A and B are shown apart, each in its own frame.
Chain A
């Protein structure tokens, strides 16, 4: 039997609208679920229990007044790098362990305007640097499908919470795959929108030319509903784009007959687990059976260089973004120093974890005199090639289909020693951020009880196409209906 907290946004919205259930009941059910399962999963850095109940009461008043929007009264989880006024925003870093945001991120403002109930802030890799959530300065999060395994990252807490019914949806952020890869590992839907589609104001920055906020949900319809609420131009983010926002739910329920899908061979290269490759191939055959024309012989020859491009560009941008942590205006501050410079050095020494320091050092190096042309400028040029190859592909194809990850979720602690390997895991997701285009990961089945995610990639601002294909596949296969054995 399906419990209340396991329903989707669109299912629970109907119950709220018809007053069969109240937001307070819904919120209590989610809180009870968090108490029951989160000691095993550890998805949350902060649970905002009292605040959530107050917000639920307000939502119930609003619903009683006849104003029940698609997200009104529904408990949601925010990755802990989205600023929430009056609530701790830690970035899972010792540096921000006690930081209380003085303002809301634009996406938070937009969701509050829709009547969101905020249930808590989710664990992540420190400063969004990592793919396992093991880099959190506080604790690791466990995968609801197998508690011995990682949930993916960096939005691992958000993905685990949604998969384990500890909230109906989450917002994550994706710089190199940080929404899609944990969505894949936890068998949920994760959408990385086009760069500029969603305002980044109030998102604690990792790499400003790559970061994008997006929904993590239990099915494709829910992703469309959340996209409707968070998309659009914002004058506080000058990289956001005024491209028209349409009703994304209109993309749902349409067939995909005659759509042209390309399968880039570089995304099935050496290193992919054979069971993952065969699961994705089965999914592609299912898309073919739904009437899509599939070209199995597409090539994006520069994509294998994307991880190297990513680690040059993202660390360069991160080294600049993280210069703001000085222990003076907010955050961790080393007090027992004799001078301002010593205080600054010790604050950063003890406030940042190892991975963060390593990336700051690397980013400073690739930007430094004598190295700029060799590393940074070179990476920016290869970035152009990667982008151009996608542009050419989208002249012929409506979308590209790939695995989200080469691997099934690893065991906790299995991969942290192998640095170079961990940097190159995200080979399927990184090229999408490099090119600034949208992509979605949806559940595509299981191998020995572990989830496999299918990635669909489209041209800039073609989120509707992603949702249309994803929804057709989901409705035909039903993989989104499975619940983890908790």
Chain B
């Protein structure tokens, strides 16, 4: 599978990952190589085999909704790069 420039830019946009032109060309080549490596999986016959999402046998783990104290706002906000009182501050979403 060849990953062209447009496809790399589409993935970068999906990831909200800024990229230089050089990044785009390097990733286009490297990701294509890696995807080619993945083709080895086509050698395995998986007819009738069900997928494994995680290895232990747990299924739909449920718990009671127990009310407990949350972390205080001062601790939640302690690592915020920008804050305004008890809020996280971000750039304007709408102009």
How far is it, in angstroms, between the C-alpha of A236 and the C-alpha of B31 when the chains are bound? Answer: 36
Q: How far is the CB of B86 from chain A (nearest CB, A)?
A: 13
Give the B interface residue count (CB, 8 A).
50
B37 touches A378 (CB 8 A): no
CB-defined contacts of A328 to chain B, threshold 8 Å? 80-81, 88, 90
B17 touches A365 (CB 8 A): no
CB-defined contacts of B69 to chain A, threshold 8 Å? none
CB-defined contacts of A342 to chain B, threshold 8 Å? 18, 91
CB-defined contacts of A368 to chain B, threshold 8 Å? 11, 14
How far is it, in angstroms, between the C-alpha of A445 and the C-alpha of B31 when the chains are bound? Answer: 38
A382 touches B41 (CB 8 A): yes
Choose among A311, A345, A361, A364 the residue that contacts B38 (Cβ–Cβ < 8 A): A311
Flag whether A329 is at the interface (Cβ < 8 A): yes
Answer whether A102 and B78 are a contact pair too, CB < 8 Å, given A328-B88, A358-B27, A383-B51. Answer: yes
A239 touches B58 (CB 8 A): yes
Give the A interface residue count (CB, 8 A).
74
Flag whether A333 is at the interface (Cβ < 8 A): yes
Residue of B nearest to A304 (CB): B40
Most buried by A among B23, B33, B54: B54
CB-defined contacts of B38 to chain A, threshold 8 Å? 308, 311-312, 366, 375
Identify which of residues 324-347 in chain A touch chain B, using a CB-to-CB cut-off of 8 Å: 326-333, 335, 337-346
A311 touches B34 (CB 8 A): yes
Most buried by B among A323, A361, A382: A361
A423 touches B15 (CB 8 A): no
CB-defined contacts of A335 to chain B, threshold 8 Å? 81-82
Choose among B34, B53, B88 the residue that contacts A420 (Cβ–Cβ < 8 A): B34
Identify which of residues 17-58 in chain B touch chain A, using a CB-to-CB cut-off of 8 Å: 17-19, 23, 27, 30-31, 33-35, 37-38, 40-44, 46, 49-56, 58
How far is it, in angstroms, between the C-alpha of A382 and the C-alpha of B45 when the chains are bound? Answer: 9
How far is it, in angstroms, between the C-alpha of A272 and the C-alpha of B86 when the chains are bound? Answer: 57
B12 touches A361 (CB 8 A): yes
Q: How far is the CB of A50 from chain B (nearest CB, A)?
A: 20
Residue of B nearest to A330 (CB): B79
CB-defined contacts of A384 to chain B, threshold 8 Å? 46, 49-52
CB-defined contacts of B42 to chain A, threshold 8 Å? 378
A339 touches B92 (CB 8 A): yes
Flag whether A209 is at the interface (Cβ < 8 A): yes
A436 touches B46 (CB 8 A): no
B11 touches A209 (CB 8 A): no
A102 touches B15 (CB 8 A): no
- Which residue numbers of A lie inside 8 Å of B, CB to CB? 98-100, 102-103, 194-196, 208-209, 235, 238-239, 241, 302, 305, 308-309, 311-312, 319, 323, 326-333, 335, 337-346, 348-350, 352, 357-358, 360-362, 364-366, 368, 375, 377-385, 387, 419-420, 423-424, 434-437, 460
8 CB contacts below 8 A, A to B, read A308-B37, A308-B38, A312-B41, A330-B81, A340-B90, A360-B17, A361-B15, A436-B56
The 3 closest A-B pairs by CB, nearest first: A436-B55, A349-B18, A380-B51
- Which residue numbers of B lie inside 8 Å of A, CB to CB? 3, 7-8, 11-12, 14-19, 23, 27, 30-31, 33-35, 37-38, 40-44, 46, 49-56, 58, 61, 63, 71, 75-76, 78-82, 88, 90-93
Task: Please give 17 more A-B residue pairs, beta carbons under 8 A apart, in addition to A195-B55, A361-B8.
Answer: A196-B56, A302-B44, A305-B40, A311-B37, A328-B81, A329-B88, A332-B81, A333-B82, A340-B92, A342-B18, A361-B11, A361-B27, A378-B42, A384-B52, A385-B44, A420-B33, A424-B37
